[in-house]
Amino acid sequence: MLDLIARPLLFPLLMAQAQRVRAGIEPLPEPPGPRAGREGRGAGELSLLVVGDSSAAGVGAPHQDLALARPLARRLSQRLARPVRWALLAQSGLTSAATLAHLKAHDVPEADLAVVVVGVNDITQQVPQAAALKHRGEIAIWLEAHAGARHVLFPALPEMELFPALPQPLAWWAGQTARRNNRAQARWARRWPLARPRVTHVPMDRVMRSDLMAVDGFHPGPGLYARVAEHLAEAIARDVLSPQSISKEAA
């Protein structure tokens, strides 16, 4: 709330700092490597789709093997003791609305489970929170209708005040805005109708580490991607695909 009160007073400084950050950050490429594959062996295959912005695409990692989608599939396969077929459909710079448009413009494989990584660009492009959540709901519904997704997960935004690229007070303001997004997204997910697809907000507390960021100070590096993948795999195994969760869903 304090950031909303302070924003009119800080707005000229925040905009000037944001412009300097954009001008000073050398854009990092999306990493090479396969954007689909299979991890693990055996029966009971689970299909995973990762969609979203530059962090979903793995910007900051040298290869997809050290980014998000493939490590997440690998950790899920290990935790669940079943094979995971995965696919990645992501692009740098996408807001929630642009992610939906990106999905509609591509052939999307079938998926039991989708992880949607969006939100930072909604903040940097000043998308109203209500509009961003509306678009995320449309993403979930579209993924169920066109990819058969039964579960759609939206990870929380990181603590943006820890981004090394952001000076103060821009870092403070971005961090407060990210927290407000996370609280709103958690409430939105709890109120989601009890029908498929099941929508889940995944808290990401204590995952972020500024010393594991990429050289641009704005994207995860390989070490942070590994932490995120492990955290998401644990949350999926515990809260989404555990026998207790499945039985509750069926009831």
Determine which helix (DSSP H) or strand (DSSP E) holds 73, and give its type and residue range.
helix 69-80
Determine the Cα–Cα distance for residues 225 and 231; give it in Å rounded to an integer: 10
* pLDDT above 60 for 227: yes
96 is a domain residue: yes
User: Picking from 104-108, 125-129, 243-247, which range would have the lowest pLDDT averaged per residue?
Assistant: 243-247
- 172 domain residue, yes or no: no
pLDDT for residue 245: 53
pLDDT of 12 over the 90 cut: no
C-alpha–C-alpha distance, residues 122 and 134, integer Å: 12
Domain assignment of residue 103, yes or no: yes
Neighbouring CB atoms inside 10 A of 232's CB total 24
pLDDT of residue 2: 54
Which residues form the domain of 101?
Answer: 36-157+185-241
Mean pLDDT of 161-188: 95
Structure confidence at residue 95 (pLDDT)? 98
Any domain includes 11: no
Q: What band does 226 get if pLDDT is binned at 50, 70 and 90?
A: very high
For residue 91, the model assigns a pLDDT of: 98
Helix (H) or strand (E) segment spanning residue 152: strand 151-155
Is the residue at 164 inside a domain?
no
Largest Cα separation within the chain, whole Å, is 59
Task: Report cis status (omega within 30 of 0) of the bond before 31.
Answer: no
- What confidence score (pLDDT) does residue 26 get? 85
Output the average pLDDT for the chain.
92
DSSP 157: P
CATH code, 230: 3.40.50.1110
145, part of any domain: yes
pTM of the model: 0.92
Confirm whether 4 is domain-assigned: no
> What percent of the chain has pLDDT above 90?
82
Average pLDDT of the residues in 15-42? 93
d(CA 61, CA 65): 9
What average pLDDT does the segment 145-161 reach? Answer: 97
Grade residue 24 by pLDDT with cuts at 50, 70 and 90. confident
Domain total of the chain: 1
Q: Is residue 193 part of a domain?
A: yes
Confidence (pLDDT) at 127 = 95
The pLDDT value given to residue 234: 97
The confidence band for 250, taking pLDDT boundaries of 50, 70 and 90, is very low
pLDDT for the residue numbered 3? 60
Query: At residue 11, does pLDDT exceed 70?
Result: yes
Q: Which pLDDT score, from 0 to 100, does residue 70 have?
A: 98
